[in-house]
Structure 1
Amino acid sequence: MSELKTEYFDSFDGTRLALHRLGAGRPLVLLHGLFSNAQMNWIKWGHAQLIADRGYEVLMLDFRVHGESEAPHAPDAYPKNVLVRDAAALIEHFGIQDYDLGGFSLGARTSLHAVAQGVLAPARLIVGGMGTAGLGEWEKRAAHFRRVIDEFENIPHTDPAWFSMQFLKSQGTDRVAARLLLDTMPDLDLAQLANVAMPTLVVCGDEDRDNGSAEELADLLPDSTYAEVPGTHMGSVTKPDLGRAIADWLGPA
């Protein structure tokens, strides 16, 4: 069992971010989902340990407003594509040169934005819980979470948004910072996916339709492998199948 280590670094604008490290070997940077964190997506359910056992050092960022990272309230801490810039700051700060990159949901979206725009150049890419709608129609998803934040305590149990509200509450999400963060994420022109030339794993739950069609996304990527695992969007990360699918695709480091 590898020892989990947590350290902190300053992003491009001085915002303090948390990085969780597990294992030793080839670097794999993993990015978590919206209003989740590294602990919830990668560590708690054993995915990071499973991958580390294959000979990887798993580097798991807590985005700003998430986990153990800072959640500033100043509007100027939220420029366009700020999470892409946070991921790039991680790579630069630690001098990581030859690495693989992966993400789930928002983390997958951020990874695709970074690669499609030429900001990051991993050798291999893992895209979890993401489809074409989550890239090209993000504004619809963002509008849902804006309403959750704005109507937080007034959302009735019968409203589908109630489950999102409960998740934010369980994570202790700073709603002021979260509201600012939602405005930083533009849609991605799907034509830019042609720039994602490295081998890519698209992995998604068999009941997960939260971000549209993952199979359609895989078809748009130049060099992709599609894998299906059990579960819904929220449920698939709690099952060992997700970690196994990633580890098996990566193979021994």
Structure 2
Amino acid sequence: MPRFSSDGVDIAYFDEGAGDPVLLIHGFASTKEINWVNPSWTKTLLGAGYRVIGFDHRGHGASQKLYDPELYHTRLMAEDACNLLAHLGLPRADVIGYSMGARVGAQMALLFPQAVRSLVMGGLGIHLVDGVGLPQTVADALEAPSLDDVPDAMGRTFRAFADANKADLKALAACIRGSRQVLSREEVGRIFQPVLVAIGTRDSVSGAAAPLVELLPDGTQLDIPNREHNPAVGDKVFKEGALAFLKARP
């Protein structure tokens, strides 16, 4: 597995195919494999003729684990994404992010606009503006002695997921506490790239798509029918909508 140093942080990534580059940014407690390879996103994009690049966030997967919450600011994670493109000699890419990855992608589009050709935001709607991400109880659940010691339903879900994937629980808890940045409405209005906001119609985590699309200068809404937050990641409607969006963007 290739790796590179992003300002001193060791980041694992993959880089496959040829054509226009698409950068995939996974969600919290996930990995590049769980979020993108296993649900066939990489296969779908490669089959459509794209060069597909994905990486594990700091604290996740095969990348370096950090335990200071301040090192998980979403600007730093956006810098990791930009640094990967620079490492590969790519001036820009289309970006697809899911959940926390969409939050990082939005920061990337705002702060490093030259690096983002277009942005697909899956699993994140108006909570980009009025929500700081997962509640602090999830961090508490990750730090509990065991799953049996977690009373909170959402905390149990993420703790069970992290345990199943043998994740570093302390690193994930630090990430929850450090990656709680929102964008203002004015900042969202400065994201000039084409943006697709794709959310499951049963998603209770993301916040509504329509209010965010209204704030974006070039936003499009995609409803993923009858899907909750996590199952929406690999939905056929999401993939087909993203491919159509990439084909139509300038």
Question: Is TM (by shorter chain) over 0.5?
Answer: yes
CA displacement at 1:51 relative to structure 2: 1.4
Code of the aligned partner of 2:229? H
Match of 1:29 in 2: 23
Q: Distance in 1 between matches of 2:141 and 2:18?
A: 40
Match of 1:249 in 2: 245
CA displacement at 1:247 relative to structure 2: 1.3
Say which of 228, 232, 237 aligns to 2:228: 232
CA displacement at 1:202 relative to structure 2: 1.0
Partner SS, residue 124 of structure 1: strand
CA RMSD of aligned residues (A): 2.2
1:162 aligns with 2:156: yes
Q: Distance in 2 between matches of 1:36 and 1:211?
A: 16
Residues 121 and 160 (structure 1), Cα distance of their counterparts in 2 relative to 1, 3 Å cut: closer
Q: Distance in 2 between matches of 1:79 and 1:49?
A: 30
Residues 20 and 93 of structure 2 are in contact (CA less than 8 Å); yes or no, is this contact kept in structure 1?
Answer: yes
| Deviations 1:81-120, CA, capped at 9 Å, x for gaps | 3212211211222221142112000110001012223465
Code of the aligned partner of 1:150? E
Residues 241 and 184 (structure 1), Cα distance of their counterparts in 2 relative to 1, 3 Å cut: same
Residues 47 and 242 of structure 1 are in contact (CA less than 8 Å); yes or no, is this contact kept in structure 2?
Answer: no
| Deviations 1:9-67, CA, capped at 9 Å, x for gaps | 1111x221111223211111110000001111111111221112111101011111112
Say which of 134, 137, 144 aligns to 2:137: 144
Code of the aligned partner of 2:245? W
| Deviations 1:151-171, CA, capped at 9 Å, x for gaps | 352014x73421121111112
Residues 49 and 218 (structure 1), Cα distance of their counterparts in 2 relative to 1, 3 Å cut: same
1:122 aligns with 2:116: yes
Match of 2:46 in 1: 52
Match of 2:202 in 1: 207
| Deviations 1:107-164, CA, capped at 9 Å, x for gaps | 100010122234653111111110112443206x2413222223352014x7342112
% of aligned pairs identical?
A: 25
CA displacement at 1:234 relative to structure 2: 0.7
Say which of 195, 198, 202 aligns to 2:193: 198
Q: Distance in 2 between matches of 1:136 and 1:89?
A: 28
